[in-house]
């Protein structure tokens, strides 16, 4: 490991540890009556307000005259940020939060940790069939036996986790939503590293927050405001939302995007496979969740498959 990049690896581990806890926080909020889209909107409104405050402070610290940049350099780049706002914002959290409404937090976390596998596959496709600066900004991934066997292990593990629930006569809907979240994060990861390198972590993260909030609006229509107000009267709900909005979103997104710009999209995303272990510990302590033998086997298969597919 390059010693000059050791600090960025440590930051990636810190972010993943925090994100592992967010599954439990979100589960608590759903139990309190908040809907998946509402949880995302509230946490990202806080994060968006926080990042604008950071932009204004940085501007004052420089010369106080230069306006904060609002738009990217081209219509294509702006369209890419819209895509990132959807895949890393609204659709990712909508699928992840919806999954948590149907299944255990540890199940969702283990399935979402397959994101590096999708990142690898999407990177291979984009490197093969696309051209231009986005393709040049992607890491070089070789198609070989580690990726092939790792993919089969991860897919087999996902099948065990999903279809094992049918033996309990529970719908695998939550597990499928979790896989959808992993696909979204895989798509987000292949573009975000390059955009952060070009525009900086704060600007790129601010754009993701904005377009994430913009594209979640249709899912908020018709929501029960009385339920939201009742939930917000609970101190535990407020604390969990503050943690999700300011720590897990504002702080962690900026750090993660900065780390991706230095370590690369695939190398950084590989840290996601550690996410479930932090979720498992906190969910067992605070939610009393347990995993069946088949779920454990499937989850370990996912993790080892992702690790193997990530070998250089």
Give the model confidence (pLDDT) of 36-52 as tens digits.
Answer: 999 999 999 999 999 99
In terms of residue numbers, what domain contains 87?
3-309
Where does 221-251 have alpha helices with state H? Answer: 225-232, 235-242
Q: What is the rounded CA–CA span in Å between residue 158 and residue 287?
A: 23
Is residue 91 predicted with pLDDT exceeding 90? yes
Q: Give one DSSP letter per residue of 23-76, joined into a string.
A: HHHHHHHHHTT--HHHHHHHHHHHHHHHHHHHHHHHHHHHTS-SPPP-S-SSHH
How many domains does one find in the chain?
1
pLDDT at 81: 95
Q: What percent of the chain has pLDDT over 70?
A: 81
Q: 283-307: per-residue pLDDT in tens?
A: 888 888 776 777 778 777 777 776 6
pLDDT at 169: 41
Q: What percent of the chain has pLDDT over 90?
A: 35
Please report, for residues 40, 145, 232, the alpha-carbon distance to residue 240 in angstroms, rounded to integers and kept in the order given. Answer: 12, 43, 10
Q: What is the rounded CA–CA span in Å between residue 60 and residue 311?
A: 45
CB atoms within 10 A of CB 230: 14
Q: What is the rounded CA–CA span in Å between residue 289 and residue 208?
A: 33
Is residue 245 predicted with pLDDT exceeding 90? yes
pLDDT at 119: 81
pTM of the model: 0.81
Q: What is the rounded CA–CA span in Å between residue 215 and residue 210?
A: 9
Q: What is the rounded CA–CA span in Å between residue 6 and residue 192?
A: 21
């Amino acid at each position: 490991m390059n010693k000059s990049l050791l600090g960025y690896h440590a930051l990636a581990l810190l972010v993943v540890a925090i994100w592992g806890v967010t599954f439990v926080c979100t589960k608590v909020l759903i139990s309190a009556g908040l809907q998946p889209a509402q949880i995302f909107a509230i946490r990202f409104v806080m994060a968006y307000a926080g990042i604008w405050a950071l932009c204004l402070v940085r501007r004052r610290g420089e010369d106080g005259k230069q306006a904060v940049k609002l738009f990217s350099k081209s219509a294509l780049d702006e369209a890419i940020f819209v895509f990132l706002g959807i895949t890393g914002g609204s659709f990712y959290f909508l699928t992840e939060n919806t999954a948590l409404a149907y299944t255990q937090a540890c199940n969702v976390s283990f399935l979402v940790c397959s994101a590096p596998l999708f990142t690898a596959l999407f990177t291979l496709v984009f490197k093969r069939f696309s051209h231009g600066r986005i393709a040049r900004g992607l890491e070089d991934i070789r198609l070989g036996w580690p990726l092939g066997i790792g993919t089969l292990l991860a897919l087999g593990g996902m099948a065990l986790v999903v279809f094992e629930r049918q033996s309990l006569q529970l719908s695998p809907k939550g597990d499928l939503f979790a896989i959808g979240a992993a696909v979204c994060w895989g798509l987000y990861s292949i573009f975000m590293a390059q955009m952060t390198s070009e525009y900086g972590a704060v600007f790129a993260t601010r754009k993701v927050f904005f377009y994430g909030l913009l594209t979640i609006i249709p899912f908020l229509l018709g929501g029960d405001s009385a339920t939201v107000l009742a939930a917000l009267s609970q101190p535990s709900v407020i604390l969990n939302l503050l943690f999700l909005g300011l720590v897990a979103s504002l702080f962690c997104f900026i750090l993660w995007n900065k780390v991706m710009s230095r370590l690369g999209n695939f190398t950084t995303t590989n840290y996601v496979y550690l996410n479930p272990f932090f979720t498992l510990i906190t969910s067992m302590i605070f939610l009393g969740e347990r995993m069946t033998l088949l779920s454990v086997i499937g989850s370990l298969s996912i993790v080892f498959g992702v690790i193997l597919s990530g070998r250089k």
